[in-house]
Chain A
Amino acid sequence: MATALTGRGLAFIRATPNLFPSRFPWVAAPQQLSCLHTSALLEAPRWEQKNRKVYPPQLPGEPRRPAEIYHCKRQFKYSKDKLWYLATMVKGLSIDEAIAQLEFNDKKGAKFMKEVLLEAQDMAVKNHNVEYKSNLYVAESTSGKGKYLKRIRYHGRGMFGIMDKVYCHYFVKLVEGPPPAKTERTSFDAAKDYVDELKRRTIIHSL
């Protein structure tokens, strides 16, 4: 058996991360992964597996860590660009408000999103020890590109184009607690930040 796991075999096993899904509880990373490209969210770890993350027990003096619930809907027939508008509309709202807004929106994606939010709310109460189902807010909400089907679109003069039948994913993260207060970022703030960034620069290898 040991001779089989050599060279190419090991590389193959390492290349496919989902071959042996780990059942061990994950240790929480102390520093947050900032500056991640959005596509990295979908490769590894997958959105569904983020729910299995287990934090070490909290110390007595620490403030209570709010519950996080990750949910998604994969590969449904809608455009990721059109879903993006709905996803950004819902970002930062409390779950009741989000569901209300989606109920009265005429877009096709609103129906899918409302299902996902209701399911996530249900999951939160049943599996993630959330006491009040209204005490949740949408922390993250994004759309992703699904696997497209390709079809031929016939034009005149024997020309053809390849048509994409679009599919998309929807990802949502609910966090327990009241929604955070929205700070209005004015143009003055943006200018101030830009100037501070310019002042923070250091020129390396200089005198």
Chain B
Amino acid sequence: MFTVASFVQSLRTSLQLIENRLLQAAGLERQLAPALAAHGPSVLPQLNNGQETEEEVEGPCQSPGLLDGILWMAAPKKRRTIEVNRTRRRSESKLIKLKTNIEPCPECGHLKQKHILCGFCYAKVCRETAKIRNQIKEVEGGPFRAPTVETVVLYEGETANSQDKDKRIIERPRKRPSWFNV
């Protein structure tokens, strides 16, 4: 009888201590007087001393008490069935919508999106500009030697215009591509 009562008392005190500490951490309640003072003298002297001296009172059911406390974390009550999961995962909002802005590129015939450049045409332009850049690298012959004047790219059979007199000329040994206007 004695030990059972003391056991229950120690549980109660430990839970109260935990709650007080939680409330302190949350900053919701001001500090109360230590809970031990409220309880009667039915507690054994050993346990009483132990509780007064030790800060951390380890109740036997402390960790599950944390989860069942009032101000603690939310946790799922039941396992979500596969039917519930399926209706959520396959709802209309989660399905992929079809794109209506795909059209063929008028230049090359590959598909492109309306507001984006055609990938094939862009790759074609990239390849030619890489070759022009290589030519420029050969002409310059090293880093930090870019001239202060503009550059003009001339293809086979073309001569510099009157406008391009002061500009640096880069020669490419091929026919002018149809998409590269003068």
Q: Looking at the assembled complex, report how far the CB atom of A107 sits from the nearest CB atom of chain B, in whole angstroms.
A: 8
Report whether A101 and B94 are in contact in the complex, using a CB–CB cutoff of 8 Å.
no
Partner of B111 from the list A85, A88, A89, A100 (CB cut-off 8 Å) is A100
Looking at B94, B96, B99, B113, which has the most chain A CB atoms within 10 Å of its CB?
Answer: B96
Q: A103-B111, A104-B113 are in contact. Are A89 and B102 (CB under 8 A)?
A: no
Report whether A85 and B95 are in contact in the complex, using a CB–CB cutoff of 8 Å.
yes
* Whole-angstrom CA separation of A101 from B98 in the bound complex: 7
Complex interface: chain B residues within 8 A of A85 (CB)? 94-96
Partner of A86 from the list B89, B94, B96 (CB cut-off 8 Å) is B96
* Whole-angstrom CA separation of A183 from B98 in the bound complex: 17
A51 within 8 A of B: no
Interface size classification for chain A:
10 to 19
Partner of A88 from the list B95, B99, B102, B113 (CB cut-off 8 Å) is B95
Report whether A104 and B95 are in contact in the complex, using a CB–CB cutoff of 8 Å.
no
Complex interface: chain A residues within 8 A of B95 (CB)? 85, 88-89
Chain A: CB-nearest residue to B119: A103
Main secondary structure of the interface of A (DSSP, over half): helix
Q: A85-B94, A85-B95, A85-B96 are in contact. Are A101 and B102 (CB under 8 A)?
A: yes
Complex interface: chain A residues within 8 A of B96 (CB)? 85-86, 89, 105
A-contact bits for B78-100, CB 8 A (1 contact / 0 none):
00000000000100001110110
Complex interface: chain B residues within 8 A of A81 (CB)? 89
* Whole-angstrom CA separation of A100 from B94 in the bound complex: 21
Could you give 22 example pairs across A and B, Cβ below 8 Å? A81-B89, A85-B94, A85-B95, A85-B96, A86-B96, A88-B95, A89-B95, A89-B96, A89-B98, A100-B102, A100-B111, A101-B98, A101-B99, A101-B102, A103-B102, A103-B111, A104-B99, A104-B102, A104-B111, A104-B113, A105-B96, A105-B99
